[in-house]
Structure 1
Amino acid sequence: MTYNTFETTLVGILGRDPEARYTGDGKLVCNMSVAVHRGKDKTVWVQVEAWEKLGEACVNNLRKGSKILAKGTPRADAYVNKEGDPKASLIITAREIEFLSNFGGDKEEEGVLEGPGTEDIPY
């Protein structure tokens, strides 16, 4: 049994279509840029990654404008941008994603998809 001691849940809207790629050992990872609204005038962009079957379902069923609920383990990645300024991004490795709307539409979708346990995700 896997116990996650640090997990987060977010609800947001995809800012672009999900992007899929394969790792060197052939595992699919889907990357999504998700806008999470905090208050009236504040939007936080969070990167959500979904692995293997969960990622495949996201690529096949989500598009820019789709609303999702994602649960997973957060991490922060620090980097330096092109201008030389230090920046950081928040990345959620999803273990569960619920499609709240499909293909950016208003239709409510049912169901929760679960991904691999954290022990199966190559960091």
Structure 2
Amino acid sequence: MAGETIITVVGNLTRDPELRTVGSGSTVVNFTIASSTRTFNRNTNQWEDGDTLFVNCSAWDSARTSLASNIANSLAKGMRVIAQGRLTQRSYQAQDGSQRTVIELRVDEIGPALSRATAQVTRQSASSGFNGGQQNGGFGGNNGGYQGGAGYSGGAGYGSNGGYQGGASQQAPAAPNNAPVTDPWQTGDSGSNAFGSYGTSDFGGDSDEPEF
């Protein structure tokens, strides 16, 4: 939409995302990103943190996406993220009766920062198109290659755990002798979680703002 202020913020979550359902039945998630500047001090030969910008963020589920639910299920306090969205302003009445106005980031896209971490992406299921781990159409996810209603069946060397899968009975040709036994992209770092290790220092307390 024309005239909107779109920004990108890189920082750490100060708390676990809070998922809730508002009176209208919509699902929203709220969280805060702390973004700090870093400068190099030539006197001490060390990097030092500068001022910290705390950005209150919100995201919503819609008929097309489950953004709010995905954020709550994927991100946690301390994780470093990259978020892009639109700056919005809203007013509310505080518990002491005063009227307050806040500016927050309405998140459109967000994901973990991979500069110091790794992540494993799981595509959500759908009835057609690109599907993660589904067998009803489109491209398969982690457990196979092409999957559909016709074509080759079985056969090693065509996918992670299987090859072309479908309803036809024609046997797939044998894989060449030099085909890789396993998919190297499926092998992760042993002993590490999906998002790496983060600090858990608290950047700020929960807001006393009322629900939407």
Question: Secondary structure of 2:24's partner?
Answer: coil
**TM-score scaled by length of structure 1:** 0.69
Distance 1:18 1:85 in 2: 26
**Between structures 1 and 2, the one with greater helix share:** 1
Contact map agreement 1:16 1:63 (CA 8 A) in 2 = yes
Residue 60 of structure 2 corresponds to residue 47 of structure 1: no
Paired positions, count: 108
**What code does the residue aligned with 2:60 have?**
W
How far off its partner does 1:54 sit? 0.7
CA gap of 1:92–1:77, structure 2 versus 1, over 3 A, is same
Pick from 33, 55, 72: which aligns with 2:85? 72
Contact map agreement 1:100 1:110 (CA 8 A) in 2 = no
Q: Deviations over 1:40-81 (max 9, x none)?
A: 320011011111111101100111001111111102446787
How far off its partner does 1:99 sit? 2.0
Aligned partner of 2:119 in structure 1 is 109
Distance 1:74 1:100 in 2: 21
Aligned partner of 1:120 in structure 2 is none
Distance 1:79 1:90 in 2: 11
Question: Secondary structure of 1:64's partner?
Answer: coil
The 10-residue stretch of structure 1 (78-87 or 91-100) with the greater mean CA deviation from structure 2: 78-87
**What code does the residue aligned with 2:88 have?**
R
Question: Secondary structure of 2:50's partner?
Answer: coil
CA gap of 1:83–1:3, structure 2 versus 1, over 3 A, is closer
Contact map agreement 1:33 1:45 (CA 8 A) in 2 = yes
**TM-score scaled by length of structure 2:** 0.43
Distance 2:72 2:105 in 1: 17
How far off its partner does 1:22 sit? 0.7
Alignment RMSD (CA, Å): 3.1
CA gap of 1:91–1:26, structure 2 versus 1, over 3 A, is same
How far off its partner does 1:88 sit? 5.6
* Structure 2 unaligned spans of 5+: 39-48, 124-211
CA gap of 1:25–1:77, structure 2 versus 1, over 3 A, is closer
Aligned partner of 1:119 in structure 2 is none
**What code does the residue aligned with 2:13 have?**
L
Distance 1:24 1:80 in 2: 17
Contact map agreement 2:4 2:87 (CA 8 A) in 1 = no
**What code does the residue aligned with 1:107 have?**
A
When Rg is computed on C-alpha atoms for both structures, the one with the higher figure is 2
Identity over aligned pairs, percent: 27
Contact map agreement 1:46 1:89 (CA 8 A) in 2 = no
Question: Secondary structure of 2:57's partner?
Answer: strand
How far off its partner does 1:82 sit? 7.8
